[in-house]
Amino acid sequence: MWDVLVLLGAPGSGKGTTAGDLAEVRPDWIHLSTGDMLRDAIKSGSPVGLEAKQCMDQGQLVPDEVVMKIVSEYMEAGPTDAVYLFDGFPRTDAQAQLLDEFLESSGKGHVSHVFLLEVPEEVLVDRIAGRLICRDCGKVFHRTNMPPTKESMCDDCSGDIYQRPDDNRETVLNRLKVFHNQTASLIDYYGAKKILHRVDCLYRDRALDAILTIMGPKS
Ligand code: ADP
Ligand code: ZN
């Protein structure tokens, strides 16, 4: 069976960083980031990538069906027993419904936990505007809060570090608006199902510890 865990939060709340930290403690969980998958699609020049690029550059969401398709294809190609850690998906009510339908119709599992990463609004813009990412392994750094040891080189894999084209102040404000208008309603969607857990993500280790405490020790 599949057990699906979801990291929900505004851009800059720490979904990618927390997912990376969790990957070290729980390498058995499969990390799925739709943002990373879409960036890979853009890099490879696929039709999905071409469609996604325009939306992403403007800080808008990629259409629900497009995202659901890449997620379902990825899961169907993977193991039948797995814990999935979703980062950045679902991001709209429609995506949450499509996901539930997909899981139900395949009879392979369900969403068991949704972690809402909470950070004061005023912190988000600075986090994103200073964010740097490894082109090869996706590790997240920050110009001032978490700089790489060597300039523009990843501490983990020596890959090239870059700033995402959508991580500029203008696009960030747009993405925050999109979060409030299109994603925040998921808090109610999962709250009503009693699977939402609020996690303070102002400090990195606190979020990690909270999630591991809720999930219990490795079985
Ligand atoms: P962040 O959470 O910092 O915005 P992501 O890498 O998760 O970063 O997303 C970057 C962009 O990729 C989004 O602004 C959006 O255009 C696109 N994207 C990622 N996930 C989804 C999704 N589930 N649905 C629609 N668009 C998405
Ligand atoms: Zn790296």
Tell me the pLDDT tens digit for each residue of 56-86.
999 999 999 999 999 999 999 999 999 999 9
Average pLDDT over residues 118-131: 92
Asked whether residue 147 is domain-assigned, the answer is no
- Is ligand 1 within 6 A of the CB of residue 88? yes
Residue 204 annotated as catalytic: no
Name the domain count of the chain.
1
For the sheet with 82-87, list strands across it: 29-33, 82-87, 2-8, 109-118, 196-200
Which of 31, 50, 53, 62 to mutate to test ligand 1, by most ligand atoms within 8 A of the CB atom?
62
Determine whether 135 is an active site residue: no
- For residues 35-58, give the mean pLDDT: 93
Asked whether residue 142 is domain-assigned, the answer is no
Instruction: Specify the pLDDT at position 219.
Output: 63
**For residue 193, what pLDDT band results from cuts at 50, 70 and 90?**
very high
Kindly state whether residue 73 falls inside one of the protein's structural domains: yes
Interacting residues of 176 by C-beta distance below 8 A, sequence separation 6+: 10, 11, 121, 124, 125
127 lines ligand 1 (CB under 6 A): no
Instruction: Please check whether residue 17 lies inside any domain of the structure.
Output: yes
User: What's the pLDDT score for residue 156?
Assistant: 95
Q: Is residue 31 part of a domain?
A: yes
Is 127 noted as a catalytic residue in this protein?
Answer: no
217 pLDDT higher than 80: no
pLDDT for 40: 93
Average pLDDT over residues 122-126: 91
Structural domain including 102 reads 2-118+197-215
For residue 10, being part of any structural domain is answered with yes
Question: Is residue 81, in this structure, part of any structural domain at all?
Answer: yes
What pLDDT score was predicted for residue 122?
A: 87
In the residue annotation, 175 being an active-site residue is answered as yes
Cβ 61 under 6 angstroms from ligand 1: yes
**CB-ligand 1 contact for 14 (6 Å cutoff):** no
CATH number reported for the structural domain that contains residue 206 in this entry: 3.40.50.300
Strand 29-33 relative to strand 82-87, pairing: parallel
**Within a domain: residue 146?**
no
Q: Residue 90: which pLDDT band, with cuts at 50, 70 and 90?
A: very high
Measured in Å, residue 3 CA sits from the centre of ligand 2 at 28
Q: What pLDDT sits at residue 170?
A: 85
Q: What is the pLDDT of residue 8?
A: 98
